[in-house]
Amino acid sequence: MERTCFVAVEFINDPNVVGYLYWYLCPYKEVREGDRVTAPLGRHNREQEGVVRKVLFTEEQNAPFPMTYIPIIVLAVFCFYTTFIMNR
């Protein structure tokens, strides 16, 4: 059975939700804790930048939140690419 990538994201630049984790379905299998992502947040699904705090690979039936309510990550900026470019 195929494992799906889920990430818990904290939106550190939004004072209304800082400190809370929100679960998302992540199409990027390379994602790691500390990576920055863009994801929809709130009832208007406004895209905001957040930081990945947890990564979970599991089957969809074991999702950390009901699949019908989990939004999808829009964009990810991976730390190891940034580190590579900065160290060149």
Give the pLDDT score at 87.
Answer: 40
Query: Structure tokens of 83?
Result: 């580190």
- Sign of the C-alpha dihedral, residues 20, 48, 42, 71? negative
Give the C-alpha separation, 50 to 30, whole Å. Answer: 16
Tracing tokens 């190891």 back to the chain, one arrives at 80
How many CB atoms are located within 10 Å of the residue 87 CB?
Answer: 6
Contact 18, 42 (CB under 8 A): no
Over residues 3-59, the pLDDT tens digits come to 999 999 999 999 999 999 999 999 999 999 999 999 999 989 999 999 999 999 999
0.75 exceeded by pTM: yes
